């Protein structure tokens, strides 16, 4: 019979098992929280509430009314409606209070209770129920397709006692799945619960590695998904490339919102995006560098167009001069030169504009010495034969 550690993979972040060894339940779970206070002694103020993890990213809080001694990784039977469910303790002790505050729960809320630690009979029943999840999901997809429902069933999660199943689906519009529920209940003889999730929630449940090389934020720590717009990317001076701005869920990356406030505060100190009048012509606004406090302008002349970077303080001065009817001779201040990075050398020639225009010298083909020697010896032999014929 399998032990409790054999079932910690359910909800594992990596979804990988090697050599029969399962992932550590304290460090490799989705939306995992490292409990720094796990060895802190229990006091009268310690909350009697624990956090229980189920499949993938689903976690809920339960009240330990029976005062059971529980630690992270213990499997418990908890209250469900109806019946009971089986889950793994993901957090216990003093840190639960901070976790509830982060997720918007209060200690005086009505929580479901923890029944007991799991028994061998509970594990056998739970194992038989979870073994049906993949087949049930495939059958449910075929039924939904037969009913022409515009929805995608992404995952199925069975309750610990096998009497109920949660079907997670994605849909762009409202779906009337009453007929689907009736068919599924008759087909599988269980209670059906349909739960709609978004593309970001689905990516968190599946897991993966982002373009930054780290685990996805929605799978490791993020559970609040705020809307991300293209204006956020424009404020950060990013190129509007959908392949770079979109995450694995197909939506704009959530990390675009992380530095939105700092960029917004920095841009507030910039001058307005207007063109400047100089004696050499009109300097047209192009772009800005937020943290270097530089603004790029282009000036067209008769023969060419030059692009110049100007400090924000100088731009404010030029705007005041234009208001007074004055035009500066140059955009940059006198004595201001663009600083170059010390110690940088273009060894590979990547900054040369004409690096692709260099003509390569044609290599001469080397003559084969073997053929040349044979040709020379053949000519000598023919001369000798001709001389012998003349003598005769």
The C-alpha angle with vertex 266 and arms to 263 and 268, in degrees rounded to 5, equals: 110
CB 234 within 8 A of CB 203: no
Query: Does 3.30.300 match the CATH number of domain 132-201?
Result: yes
Counting Cα atoms < 13 Å in the Cβ hemisphere of 223 gives 15
Residue indicated by tokens 């020379």? 376
- Which of 209, 273, 276 minimizes the C-alpha distance to 237? 273
Residue 57 has a pLDDT of 87
Residue 205 has a pLDDT of 87
Q: Are strands 59-63 and 112-117 parallel, antiparallel or unpaired?
A: parallel
Could you report the per-residue pLDDT of 10-26, keeping only the tens digit for each?
A: 666 544 333 344 455 44
Of 92-106, 127-141, 345-359, highest mean pLDDT: 127-141
* CATH 3.30.300 domain position(s) in the chain: 132-201
The C-alpha angle with vertex 95 and arms to 94 and 100, in degrees rounded to 5, equals: 115
The C-alpha angle with vertex 318 and arms to 312 and 321, in degrees rounded to 5, equals: 150
SS3 85: strand
CB 150 within 8 A of CB 172: yes
For the beta carbon of residue 334, count every other beta carbon within 10 angstroms: 6
Residue 147 has a pLDDT of 93
Total-model pTM:
0.70
Is the per-residue pLDDT at 357 higher than 70? no
For the beta carbon of residue 185, count every other beta carbon within 10 angstroms: 13
Residue 366 has a pLDDT of 57
CB 68 within 8 A of CB 108: no
For 93, list phi and psi in degrees, rounded to 5: 105, -155
> Would you place residue 126 in the very low, low, confident or very high pLDDT band (cuts 50, 70, 90)?
very high
Share of the chain above pLDDT 90, in %: 40
Lowest mean pLDDT among 14-18, 165-169, 177-181: 14-18
Helix (H) or strand (E) holding 295: strand 294-300
Decide which of 201 and 390 is more confident. Answer: 201
CB 191 within 8 A of CB 164: yes
Q: Which residues of 237-270 are buried (b: 16+ CB within 10 A; e: fewer)?
A: eeeeeeeebebbbebbbbebeeebeebeeeeeee
Is the per-residue pLDDT at 312 higher than 80? yes
Could you report the per-residue pLDDT of 39-71, keeping only the tens digit for each?
A: 787 877 888 999 999 998 899 999 999 989 888
Paired tokens of 242: 């959908």
Residue 11 has a pLDDT of 62
Helix (H) or strand (E) holding 68: none
> How high does pLDDT run on average in the chain?
81
Close Cβ partners of 294 (under 8 Å, ≥ 6 residues apart): 288, 309, 310, 311, 312
Section 84-100 average pLDDT? 90
* Cα–Cα dist 126/10, whole Å: 12
User: ω before 82 within 30° of 0 (cis)?
Assistant: yes
């Amino acid at each position: 019979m399998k032990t409790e550690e054999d079932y910690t993979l359910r909800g594992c972040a990596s979804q990988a098992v090697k050599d029969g060894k399962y992932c550590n339940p304290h460090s490799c779970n989705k939306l995992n929280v490292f409990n720094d206070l796990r060895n802190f002694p229990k006091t009268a103020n310690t909350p009697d509430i624990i956090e229980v993890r189920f499949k993938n990213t689903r976690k809920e809080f339960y009240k330990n009314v029976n005062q059971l001694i529980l630690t992270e990784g213990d499997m418990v039977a908890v209250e469900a409606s109806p019946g009971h469910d089986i889950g793994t303790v993901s957090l216990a002790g003093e840190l639960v209070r901070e976790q509830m505050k982060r997720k918007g729960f209060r200690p005086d809320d009505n929580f479901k209770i923890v029944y007991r630690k799991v028994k061998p009979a509970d594990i056998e029943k739970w194992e038989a129920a979870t073994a049906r999840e993949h087949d049930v999901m495939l059958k449910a997809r075929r039924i939904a397709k037969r009913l022409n429902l515009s929805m995608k069933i992404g995952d199925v999660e069975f309750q610990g006692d096998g009497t109920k199943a949660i079907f997670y689906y994605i849909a762009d519009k409202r779906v009337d799945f009453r007929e689907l529920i009736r068919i599924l209940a008759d087909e599988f003889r269980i209670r059906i619960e349909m739960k709609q999730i978004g593309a970001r929630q689905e990516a968190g449940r599946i897991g993966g590695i982002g373009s930054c090389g780290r685990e996805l934020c929605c799978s490791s720590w993020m559970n609040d998904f705020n809307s991300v717009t293209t204006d956020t990317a424009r404020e950060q001076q990013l190129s509007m490339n959908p392949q770079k701005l979109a995450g694995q869920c197909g939506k704009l990356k959530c990390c675009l919102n992380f530095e939105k406030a700092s960029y917004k505060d920095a841009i507030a100190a910039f001058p307005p995006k207007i063109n400047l009048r100089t004696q050499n012509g009109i300097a047209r606004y192009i772009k800005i560098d937020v943290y270097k406090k530089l603004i790029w302008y282009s000036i067209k002349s008769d023969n060419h167009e030059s692009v110049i970077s100007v400090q924000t303080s100088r731009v404010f001065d030029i705007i005041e001069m234009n208001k007074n009817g004055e035009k500066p001779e140059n955009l940059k201040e006198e004595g201001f030169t663009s600083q170059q990075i010390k110690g940088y050398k273009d060894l590979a020639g990547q900054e040369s504009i004409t690096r692709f225009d260099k003509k390569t010298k044609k290599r001469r083909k080397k003559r084969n010495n073997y053929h040349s020697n044979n040709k020379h010896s053949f000519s000598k032999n023919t001369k000798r034969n001709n001389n012998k014929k003349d003598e005769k």
